[in-house]
Amino acid sequence: MSYLPASDSDRLVLVTEVGTRDGFQSEPEFIPTETKAQVINALIGAGVRSFEATSFVSPRAVPQLADAAQVMALIERRPGVRLTGLVPNARGAERAAAAKVDMMASFVSASETHCRANLNKSLDAALADFSELAAIARRFGIPLRGAVATAFGCPFEGEVSIDNVLKLVGAYLEGGARHISLGDTTGMATPPVVTRTVEAIRSRFPEAIIALHFHNTRGIGLANVMNGLDLGVREFESSIGGLGGCPFAPGATGNICTEDLVYLLHECGYQTGIDLDALADVARQVQTVMGRALPGQFMRAGPRLKLSSLESVRRAVG
């Protein structure tokens, strides 16, 4: 595996923050709208340039994100920052367009069973919804992103057919979505599974711009990132503090942690444009908001060469 990219342009990695959507959506206590916007604004201040900021799903389905339009209105927009809104259908697309999102993301599961659990409809019906929302996105001139959930495995069905993944990617591209995100919804991805999935998509659809969205359910989220980097993927989705987990899949623990991801990338010679210390400060603030310890490790341990005085630690006696 190569740890250093071959050229300066290849050193750039885009980190897309999904914590205020994928992370917050499962929280049982409503997080104030102002707090959600403050977290995004603080992350922008730390140098994060890409967000899946919120979701325009039915407020009845996900009450935590019922304030999507209000959150968007409170974000301090800056040039070069992309704010994506997740949209399930035409109604959500209309709301997202009115809120002036920079990109719309559609999501469909490659697993028929998970698609019914997550969207309460079949895979084909979900693709029909995508066609409707894609037309709305084109009407408003808003770029599209296609997210493939359970791309690397399903908690109900086990292995997911690569044909299903390719079917979704083809439908997304035909509908105008050049950006494709592969979601590891319950942390079932391993490096070999990631390799065969990415290579199959590249072989059939070389024009697709692939992003990878890993969970750390089984502790190898960052190993999968390293494998993705070696495959030439240069966009990864992550969640501040390691928040998140699909509420419609059993055993789905948090996403890979943004500050841990950025630490890994910087240590391996990649550039993100993100201030890691400022990012860790935001993670600590989010931890305070949540009122519990989050799984992120960098915010506790600090950088590799963080030094301590001998007097500051306990010493063995005897």
Q: Which residues of 123-142 are buried (b: 16+ CB within 10 A; e: fewer)?
A: beebbebbeebbebbeeeeb
Q: List phi, psi (to 5°) of 311.
A: -70, -15
Q: Tell me, what DSSP letter sits at residue 215?
A: B
- Residue 148 and residue 155: Cα distance in Å, rounded? 15
Vertex 199, ends 49 and 171: CA angle to 5°?
70
268 is catalytic: no
- Whether the CB-CB separation of 215 and 238 falls below 8 Å is answered with no
Strand runs (DSSP E) across the chain, as ranges?
14-17, 50-55, 82-86, 103-109, 144-149, 179-183, 209-213, 235-238
Written as one letter, the residue type at 246 is C
What gap in Å lies between CA 240 and CA 202, rounded to an integer? Answer: 29
Q: Choosing from 154, 246, 257, 268, which is the catalytic residue?
A: 246
Query: Please, which residues have CB within 8 angstroms of residue 137's CB and are 6 or more apart in sequence?
Result: 93, 97, 104, 143, 144, 176
Of the candidates 151, 162, 296, the residue with the CA atom closest to the CA atom of residue 211: 151
Query: Among residues 89, 81, 93, which one has the least CA distance to residue 42?
Result: 81
Provide the angle, in degrees to the nearest 10, between the axes of the packed helices 123-140 and 90-98: 30
Catalytic residues: 246
